[in-house]
């Protein structure tokens, strides 16, 4: 079976995006300047370009260009080469790509977003779709210089073969173009927007630490991507620790500027400089705690190597304090590159009574206590699992202390990933964790992402079987879903774009998953300035049509204390509820997402659910409340702030 998957991956990868010959194609545009006709985008000459009309009058945005390929192709990508004459006027910013078989009926966009304002080639890959017509709609000029659109060349990519994918294996939908490589991401609770960032530059981190970070925000409601340069916190937030705080604000620590911290407040749309950490760090992990404080440990990638012991941020005092009783030594891996890697990307979980459970990537697991000057106790080994750098750990059932761990490799790089999977069960802080070795994944993965779904299943996406940063060579396009009931992994439909080192994935409030990024390596071939949305199988009927979703029509409170009972009204009968804490992720780590299954009391359209009373389980912060019907279909979530 493994060999078969390897064959599918390779053949898919090589055939995925073949440039389609443009002979005989025709093109139509809403406007052109004489001398800069639409046909210039098909002439194979980089020195010519299409330009919308500017004389005698500027023709206003939006603009569009429609290419007729004269016959049906299995289309899966578009490349846009901006004008190459040194002038930037007309570079496309916000855009949409649509397909049609007849030039009359156009489907929902296969891609949208914002291109970076420069003259580099823009590649957008999307789900293979039969089409004869491709339309690129330019909504803005990338630099806001004027109402123009220009393009030197447009190429269409296609696949020689096509089988309509079965929705029983989920569906990859729209591709979202970002003007930066999304290396870190956080779910913003207010509107379900997704905040992403790279470093000081759109496509590289090297040469950073100048106090600047490029961010972008994807807004699913409007289908747009906006961007912003953050300078006021003087913090290059590449390779940071990342946690969502007790009010749902992304709290970013260290990285390229190794002792800086920055907090994003979605309500005021402002970045706030936090206090400097006592220990400078990069590649540490952080965890939000039951009392609202934030713990961090590790991080020898920057700010000096070794002794990156724990420290804690107090929201009330707005300061960091060292925890000498929380040594990093017990959680080090045996990485071939030494301490520089050994304390990277800890699998941390805030738990009862201000404790933190560290599930990996070291084969040894540990408890950290954060009271007073801190404490540490061993929690046992993760069965026979080796050190699993850049694997994933997902708390899919916080009520019962259940964590799924998958994959990773003994070393950070140049190391074979495993297919290993375990379920860890934790109880009282300080006690040995129970570990069950379960069915392996279908695919070995390092640098993958794991995302818990409303029904307790875990979606594992991306990664590669031989861990090499900034390489897509052994990547897999095939995700899998783990089911806690059968304890088995099932492969899903392949995505369009490899997601390896520096990729991200998050659950969105509508029950879909955003999977994006990978790269940030300058002039390399593995920079992915995009993301793609996955719709899990639960969103479809067996005949492939969209499942009818239950709807939460009202909720008695959107801000509750732990232990509170909430009344929820729905438009139709449901059988279960779950709470999932809003996620944040970079470098395979998401210490924020966790799921609380809720058993409702009630029937028809009125139910009550009770939030667990222990803030170690129901960590303070913003949670998504999903209602799930008897067919397993989740509602769109309502956001609930849980506090102590």
| CA 284 to chain CA mean position, Å | 18
Query: Of 225-233, 262-270, 273-281, 596-604, which part binds ligand NAG (CB under 6 A)?
Result: 273-281
Helix (H, G, I), strand (E, B), or coil: what is residue 517?
strand
| Choice among 73, 283, 412, 501 that is catalytic | 501
CB 347 within 8 A of CB 360: yes
Query: Of 217-225, 274-282, 454-462, 564-572, which part binds ligand NAG (CB under 6 A)?
Result: 274-282
C-beta of 234 vs 551, nearer to ligand NAG = 234
C-beta of 81 vs 504, nearer to Cu ion = 504
The H-or-E segment that residue 12 falls in is helix 2-15
Determine the Cα–Cα distance for residues 280 and 286; give it in Å rounded to an integer.
Answer: 13
**What are the structure tokens assigned to 615, written together?**
């803030």
Window 167-186: residues binding ligand NAG (CB under 6 A): none
**What are the structure tokens assigned to 521, written together?**
């390596």
Nearest distance in Å: CB 469, Cu ion: 7
Site map 112..141 versus ligand NAG, x via CB under 6 A: ---------x---------------x----
Determine the Cα–Cα distance for residues 394 and 581; give it in Å rounded to an integer.
Answer: 12
C-beta of 259 vs 392, nearer to ligand NAG = 259
Nearest distance in Å: CB 148, ligand NAG: 15
639 binds ligand NAG (CB under 6 A): no
Please choose which of ligand NAG, Cu ion, none residue 317 contacts, taking the beta carbon within 5 to 8 angstroms, the exact cut-off set by kind: none
C-beta of 136 vs 481, nearer to ligand NAG = 136
Nearest distance in Å: CB 239, Cu ion: 5
276 binds ligand NAG (CB under 6 A): yes
The correct pick among 33, 88, 305, 353 for binding ligand NAG (CB under 6 A) is 353
Size of the site for ligand NAG (CB under 6 A): 14
Please choose which of Cu ion, ligand NAG, none residue 276 contacts, taking the beta carbon within 5 to 8 angstroms, the exact cut-off set by kind: ligand NAG
Please choose which of Cu ion, ligand NAG, none residue 239 contacts, taking the beta carbon within 5 to 8 angstroms, the exact cut-off set by kind: Cu ion
β-pair partners for 156: 78
Nearest distance in Å: CB 182, ligand NAG: 23
Determine the Cα–Cα distance for residues 531 and 508; give it in Å rounded to an integer.
Answer: 13
Among 348, 345, 358, 386, which residue's Cα sits nearest to residue 502?
Answer: 345
**What are the structure tokens assigned to 2, written together?**
């493994």
The DSSP letter of residue 183 is: -
Q: Is 501 noted as a catalytic residue in this protein? A: yes
CA angle at 175 for the pair 593 and 134, rounded to the nearest 5°: 170
Determine the Cα–Cα distance for residues 550 and 566; give it in Å rounded to an integer.
Answer: 18
The H-or-E segment that residue 28 falls in is strand 26-29
The correct pick among 19, 39, 46, 542 for binding ligand NAG (CB under 6 A) is 46
CB atoms within 10 A of CB 223: 15
The correct pick among 8, 43, 54, 62 for binding ligand NAG (CB under 6 A) is 62
C-beta of 274 vs 369, nearer to ligand NAG = 369
Determine the Cα–Cα distance for residues 611 and 564; give it in Å rounded to an integer.
Answer: 6
Spatial neighbors of 92 by CB under 8 A, at least 6 apart, are 80, 82, 115, 136, 138, 140, 141, 142, 149, 151
Nearest distance in Å: CB 413, ligand NAG: 27
CB atoms within 10 A of CB 485: 8
Please identify which residue in the block is written with the tokens 């916190």. Answer: 233
Residue facing ligand NAG at closest CB distance: 30
Query: Of 212-220, 229-237, 275-283, 620-628, which part binds ligand NAG (CB under 6 A)?
Result: 275-283
C-beta of 103 vs 544, nearer to ligand NAG = 103
**What are the structure tokens assigned to 403, written together?**
């964590």
Among 247, 291, 282, which residue's Cα sits nearest to residue 261?
Answer: 282
259 binds ligand NAG (CB under 6 A): yes
The correct pick among 369, 479, 536, 583 for binding ligand NAG (CB under 6 A) is 369
List interacting residues with ligand NAG (CB under 6 A): 30, 46, 62, 64, 81, 121, 137, 259, 276, 278, 280, 353, 369, 371
Catalytic center residues: 501
């Amino acid at each position: 079976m493994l060999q078969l998957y390897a064959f599918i991956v390779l053949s898919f990868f090589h055939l995925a995006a073949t440039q389609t010959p443009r002979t005989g194609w025709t093109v139509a545009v809403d406007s052109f300047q004489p001398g800069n006709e639409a046909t210039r985008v098909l002439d194979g000459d980089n020195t010519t370009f299409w330009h919308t009309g500017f004389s005698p009058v500027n023709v206003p945005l939006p603009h569009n260009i429609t290419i007729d390929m004269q016959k049906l192709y299995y289309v899966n990508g578009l490349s846009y080469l901006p004008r190459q004459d040194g002038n930037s006027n007309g570079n496309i910013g916000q855009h949409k790509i649509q397909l049609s078989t007849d030039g009359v009926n156009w489907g929902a966009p296969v891609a949208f977003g914002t291109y970076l304002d420069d003259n580099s080639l823009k590649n957008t890959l999307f789900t293979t779709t039969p089409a004869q017509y491709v339309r690129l709609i330019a909504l803005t000029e990338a630099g806001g210089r004027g109402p123009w659109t220009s393009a030197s060349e447009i190429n269409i990519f296609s696949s020689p073969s096509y089988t309509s994918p079965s929705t029983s294996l989920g569906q990859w939908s729209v591709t979202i173009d970002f003007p930066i490589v999304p290396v870190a991401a956080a779910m913003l609770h207010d509107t379900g927007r997704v905040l992403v960032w790279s470093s000081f530059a759109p496509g590289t981190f090297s040469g950073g630490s100048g106090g600047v970070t490029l961010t972008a925000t994807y807004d699913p409601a409007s289908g747009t991507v906006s961007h912003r340069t953050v300078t006021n916190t003087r913090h290059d937030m590449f390779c940071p620790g990342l946690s969502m705080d007790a009010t749902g604000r992304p709290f970013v620590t260290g990285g390229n500027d190794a002792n800086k911290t920055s907090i994003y407040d979605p309500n005021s749309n402002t970045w706030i400089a936090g206090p400097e950490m006592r220990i400078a760090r990069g590649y540490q992990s952080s965890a939000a705690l039951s009392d609202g404080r934030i713990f961090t440990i590790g991080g020898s990638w920057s700010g000096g190597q070794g002794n990156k012991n724990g420290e804690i941020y107090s929201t009330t005092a707005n300061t960091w304090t060292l925890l000498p009783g929380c040594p990093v030594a017990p959680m080090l891996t045996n990485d071939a590159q030494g301490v520089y890697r050994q304390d990277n990307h800890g699998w941390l979980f805030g738990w009862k009574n201000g404790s933190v459970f560290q599930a990996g990537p070291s084969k040894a697991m540990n408890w950290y206590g954060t009271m007073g000057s801190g404490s540490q106790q061993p929690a046992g080994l993760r069965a026979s699992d080796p050190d699993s750098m850049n694997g994933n750990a997902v708390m899919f059932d916080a009520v019962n202390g259940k964590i799924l761990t998958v994959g990773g490799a003994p070393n950070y790089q140049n190391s074979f990933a495993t297919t290993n999977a375990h379920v860890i069960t934790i109880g009282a802080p300080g006690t040995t964790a129970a570990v069950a070795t379960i069915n392996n994944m279908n695919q070995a993965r390092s640098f993958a992402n794991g995302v818990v779904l409303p029904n307790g299943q875990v979606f594992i996406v991306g990664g590669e079987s031989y861990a090499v940063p900034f390489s897509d060579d052994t990547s897999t396009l095939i995700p899998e879903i783990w089911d806690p009931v059968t304890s088995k992994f099932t492969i899903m439909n392949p995505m369009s774009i490899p997601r390896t080192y520096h990729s991200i994935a998050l659950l969105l409030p509508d029950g879909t998953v955003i999977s994006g990024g990978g790269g940030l390596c300058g002039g390399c071939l593995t920079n992915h300035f995009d993301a793609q949305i996955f719709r899990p199988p639960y969103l479809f009927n067996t005949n492939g049509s969209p499942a009818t979703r239950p709807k939460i029509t009202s909720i008695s409170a959107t801000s509750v204390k732990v232990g509170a009972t909430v009344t929820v009204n729905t438009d139709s009968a449901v059988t279960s509820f779950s709470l999932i804490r809003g996620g944040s992720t970079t470098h395979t780590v998401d210490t924020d997402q966790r799921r609380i299954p809720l058993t409702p009391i009630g029937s028809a359209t009125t139910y009550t659910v009770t939030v667990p009373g222990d803030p170690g389980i129901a960590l303070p912060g913003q949670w998504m409340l999903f209602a799930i019907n008897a067919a397993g279909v989740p509602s769109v979530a309502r956001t609930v702030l849980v506090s102590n």
